[in-house]
Amino acid sequence: MFSKSCEYGLRAVIFIAQQSLLDTKVSLTTISEAIDSPQAFTAKILQQLTRNNIVSSIKGPHGGFYIEMEAMKTLNLSAVVKVLDGDDIYTGCGLGLKQCNEDKPCPLHFKFVDIREKLKYMLENTTLIMLANDMELDVFHLKT
């Protein structure tokens, strides 16, 4: 479904959001251990996310990554996916036609678009703060 980059990115963002709820900044090392992802690769992903204003970062001692409360309330999973995987998942044809077009549809178009829209709706309506709050319940996991 999503690329590895996107999977790590989503897990990282959820972990950072959870910690930001407690006003804690987290370092790359802490993040990659918490979500069980390759550290250097995760660093690259976090760079993309900070450049695109999903997460914030501060260099130096006591620095690290965090997410502004305002951003947590506004941002949804869709924003993260768009940064890391583009919007192919929202606009691409299920059978790989160069463009998904209602007027020249592939034989799977109508059935496929139905599911694609449900996925889109789900990602757009799941905010980071919702997930951060869920994580406080101790029933959800970000590794293994």
Task: List residues near ligand FES by CB under 6 A.
Answer: 93-95, 97, 100-101, 105-106, 108-109, 112-113
Candidate residues 1, 22, 23, 59; the one interacting with DNA per rule CB under 7 A: 59
Cα 83 to Cα 103: distance, rounded to the nearest angstrom: 29
Q: Which does residue 21 touch among DNA, ligand FES, its own copies, none (CB within 5 to 8 A, set by kind)?
A: none
Question: Which of 11, 21, 83 has its CA nearest to residue 47?
Answer: 83
Q: Which does residue 100 touch among its own copies, ligand FES, DNA, none (CB within 5 to 8 A, set by kind)?
A: ligand FES
Contact 102, 68 (CB under 8 A): no
List binders of DNA among 112-141 (CB under 7 A): none
Q: How many CB atoms are located within 10 Å of the residue 71 CB?
A: 19
Q: Which amino acid is it at 88?
A: D
Q: Does position 52 bind DNA by CB under 7 A?
A: no
Shortest distance, CB of residue 59 to ligand FES, whole angstroms?
33
Q: Which does residue 33 touch among DNA, ligand FES, its own copies, none (CB within 5 to 8 A, set by kind)?
A: none
Cα 27 to Cα 92: distance, rounded to the nearest angstrom: 36
Shortest distance, CB of residue 92 to its own copies, whole angstroms?
7
SS3 letters across 58-111: ECCCCCEEECCHHHHHHCEHHHHHHHHHCCHHHHCCCCCCCCCCCCCCCCCHHH
Q: Does position 98 bind DNA by CB under 7 A?
A: no
Binding residues (CB under 7 A) for DNA: these are 3-5, 8, 26-29, 38-41, 43-44, 46-47, 50-51, 57-65
